């Protein structure tokens, strides 16, 4: 998106004119990254605080789930296909990247359809795609599973760690300790789910929600729209990112989701087990469910000593307040997942630390 500096400056000026203190949470890692990369925290007035919520699928994947993935990757019959994001995420002992260096067959793909294609080209191998991501990504995986069935690709399966966002927002909104005034809602999740889930949240918790795009201009407009509501004491679900997000979302993607997946309880790092927040593969597609195809034992969740990712993901503390931040936990040697993922709040904070007061 082209940066229109005059307009951005105008927006910043308007935003600065709102004197009321407000804590706004972005629940999308891409927003976390975009805000950090633009140095936006430096430009916003002191009274507006931006919190980074549980918006990176890598970050919210529980360590025990990562351990299970690694166990599967070690199976010599299996080729594990994954988005690049997951390669460096540490489980309790090792990462996929390390696994690969010790001989596991782990490959990075850009699209789940590329994974299906690789499965067709290697019919003698068990090709397992690691399904990670929220409502934006899950329909692409659902479609791929439907295709695998249509094309009878019998050596393809998916380990689904997919999660959906609204139940996690519900947990955050209902937390009495959370001092939250408004939500910068994820643009690309919302292009699938639409405005409906936010309308429900607003009617229950009376906090403004604005579905926001990812350009500098989009984010500033989103913040401006939230502040307008906060100042006037209103709470509505609105769409800033109208060129992409329709009020009813994408019904085809929604249908694909419910056709292939069913909601289950999922473990989120930092938030714990949330009912109905995970997506597991339905019985009608059982053949493509890696969990049923391979025996992958449940692994007990171990907590990482000193790691405050849980508090960071819920916006209760900022990355710099974690005792490990920048000391034993750095992007090169990440301890917690918020440091591993480029989108993680800690990695973004570390890489793009604002310069206020440092110069």
Positions 135 through 154 that interact with another protein (CB under 8 A): 136-137, 139-140, 143
Give the residue among 271, 165, 266, 253 at the shortest CA–CA distance from 211. Answer: 165
Considering the rule CB under 8 A, would residue 122 count as an interface residue with another protein? no
Work out the angle at residue 83's Cα, subtended by the Cα atoms of residues 219 and 76, and round it to the nearest 5 degrees.
Answer: 160
Do residues 106 and 96 touch, judged by C-beta distance below 8 A?
A: yes
Part of the chain binding another protein (CB under 8 A), chosen from 110-118, 177-185, 272-280, 293-301: 110-118
Considering the rule CB under 8 A, would residue 30 count as an interface residue with another protein? yes
Per DSSP, the residues of 79-137 read EEEE-GGGTT---SS--HHHHHHTT-EEEE-SSHHHHHHHHHH-TTSEEEEEE--STTT
Part of the chain binding another protein (CB under 8 A), chosen from 65-73, 134-142, 265-273, 287-295: 134-142
Considering the rule CB under 8 A, would residue 234 count as an interface residue with another protein? no
Considering the rule CB under 8 A, would residue 353 count as an interface residue with another protein? yes
Report the residue number, 150 or 295, with the smaller CB distance to another protein: 150
Residue holding tokens 């519900």?
170
Give the residue, chosen from 68, 69, 80, 133, that forms a contact with another protein under the rule CB under 8 A.
133
Which DSSP letter does residue 287 get? G
Which DSSP letter does residue 141 get? H
Considering the rule CB under 8 A, would residue 258 count as an interface residue with another protein? no
Which residues in 4-23 contact another protein (CB under 8 A)? 4-11, 13-14
Which residues in 44-103 contact another protein (CB under 8 A)? 55-58, 83-85, 87-88, 97
Give the residue among 349, 20, 24 at the shortest CA–CA distance from 172. Answer: 24
113, burial (CB in 10 Å: exposed 0-12, middle 13-18, buried 19+): middle
- Which H helix or E strand runs over 159? strand 156-160
Give the residue among 194, 202, 183 at the shortest CA–CA distance from 245. Answer: 194
Q: How far is the CB of 14 from another protein (least distance, A)?
A: 7
Size of the site for another protein (CB under 8 A): 81
Which residues in 286-345 contact another protein (CB under 8 A)? 330-332, 341-343
Considering the rule CB under 8 A, would residue 38 count as an interface residue with another protein? yes
Give the residue, chosen from 28, 50, 171, 195, that forms a contact with another protein under the rule CB under 8 A.
28
Report the residue number, 176 or 201, with the smaller CB distance to another protein: 201
Part of the chain binding another protein (CB under 8 A), chosen from 200-208, 216-224, 262-270, 272-280: 216-224
Q: How far is the CB of 176 from another protein (least distance, A)?
A: 26
Which residues in 149-208 contact another protein (CB under 8 A)? 186-189, 191-192
Give the residue among 153, 73, 130 at the shortest CA–CA distance from 105. Answer: 73
Do residues 207 and 235 touch, judged by C-beta distance below 8 A?
A: yes
Report the residue number, 224 or 292, with the smaller CB distance to another protein: 224
Considering the rule CB under 8 A, would residue 280 count as an interface residue with another protein? no
């Amino acid at each position: 998106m082209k940066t229109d500096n005059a307009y951005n400056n105008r927006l910043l000026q308007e935003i600065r004119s709102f004197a009321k203190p407000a804590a706004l949470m972005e629940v999308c890692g891409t927003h976390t990254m975009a805000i950090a990369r633009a140095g936006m925290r430096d430009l916003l007035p002191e009274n507006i605080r931006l919190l980074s919520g549980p918006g990176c699928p890598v970050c919210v994947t529980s360590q025990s789930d990562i351990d299970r993935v690694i166990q599967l990757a070690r199976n010599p019959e299996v080729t594990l296909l994954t988005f690049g994001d997951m390669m460096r995420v540490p489980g309790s002992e090792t990462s996929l990247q390390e696994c690969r260096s010790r001989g596991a067959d782990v490959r990075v793909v850009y699209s789940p359809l590329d994974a299906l294609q690789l499965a067709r080209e290697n019919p003698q191998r068990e090709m397992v795609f690691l399904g990670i991501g929220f409502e934006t990504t899950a329909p692409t995986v659902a479609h791929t599973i439907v295709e695998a069935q249509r094309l009878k690709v019998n050596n393809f399966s998916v380990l689904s760690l997919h999660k959906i966002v609204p139940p996690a927002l519900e947990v955050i909104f209902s937390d009495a300790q959370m001092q939250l005034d408004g939500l910068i809602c994820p643009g690309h999740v919302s292009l699938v789910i639409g405005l409906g889930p936010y309308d429900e949240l607003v009617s229950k918790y009376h906090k403004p929600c604005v579905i926001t795009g990812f350009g500098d201009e989009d984010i500033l407009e989103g913040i401006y729209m939230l502040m307008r509501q906060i100042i006037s004491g209103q709470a509505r679900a609105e769409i800033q990112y109208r060129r992409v997000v329709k009020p009813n979302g994408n019904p085809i993607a929604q249908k694909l989701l419910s056709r292939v997946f069913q909601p289950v309880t999922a473990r989120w790092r930092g938030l714990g087990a949330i009912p109905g927040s995970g997506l597991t593969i339905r019985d009608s597609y059982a053949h493509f469910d890696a969990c049923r195809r391979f025996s992958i034992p449940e692994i007990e969740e171990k907590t990482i000593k000193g790691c405050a990712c849980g508090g960071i993901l819920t916006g209760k503390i900022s990355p710099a307040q974690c005792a490990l931040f920048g000391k034993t936990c750095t992007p090169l040697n990440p301890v917690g997942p918020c440091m591993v993922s480029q989108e993680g709040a800690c990695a973004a904070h570390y890489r793009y630390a604002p310069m206020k007061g440092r110069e």
